[in-house]
Amino acid sequence: MVKGAAYIDYVLVSKDKLKEELAERLNKMQEIIKKVEEKNAGNDKVLIKDNTLAHLKETFIIALNYLAVCNSSKVDEYKKLIFDKLAYIRENKLLTLAQYKEAYQLLEQILAV
């Protein structure tokens, strides 16, 4: 059943809300990094996979949605970097902690757009 304008408000996300969501996800990623580092004595070669990787992929998709509403000259550059990372994940199905940290840094830069 269509609820008209109320539904439109419900289903749509503005740039600010996407930014908020991205920031929350970055906090979660920071927690993960801390937890993995503690567990593995700072070993950057430890592998990230399964649900943590799924969370990262979902975060990349949200970052793409965020970039889609950004009117910035940086959009194409960041889009390409996300694509490269997604292509790598798709092929290898895992990341090292060091690569996960790089992904975090990229998302942090995107958040600043």
Partner 1 sequence: MDEATQYVYQVPDLRAMFLMDFGNVIRQIVDLLTYSDISADTKTFDKEELRNKLRAAISYALALLASTWGYSMSEQDQEGVKMAKAKLTALFNRVVSNSQLTYLELLDIYFTLIQQVSIILNYKTPVPRPRPGNYEIT
Residues in contact with partner 1 by the rule CB under 8 A: 2-5, 7-8, 11-15, 18, 28, 32, 49-55, 57-58, 61-62, 64-65, 67-69, 71, 79, 83, 86-87, 90, 93
- Looking at beta carbons only, is 46 or 53 nearer to partner 1? 53
| CA nearest to 86, candidates 107, 112, 109 | 107
Element (H, E) at 96: strand 95-96
Q: How many CB atoms lie within 10 A of CB 111?
A: 15
Residue 71 Cβ vs partner 1, minimum distance, rounded to whole Å: 8
Residue 45 Cβ vs partner 1, minimum distance, rounded to whole Å: 19
Residue 112 Cβ vs partner 1, minimum distance, rounded to whole Å: 18
What φ, ψ does residue 48 adopt, rounded to 5°? -110, 125
What φ, ψ does residue 96 adopt, rounded to 5°? -85, 165
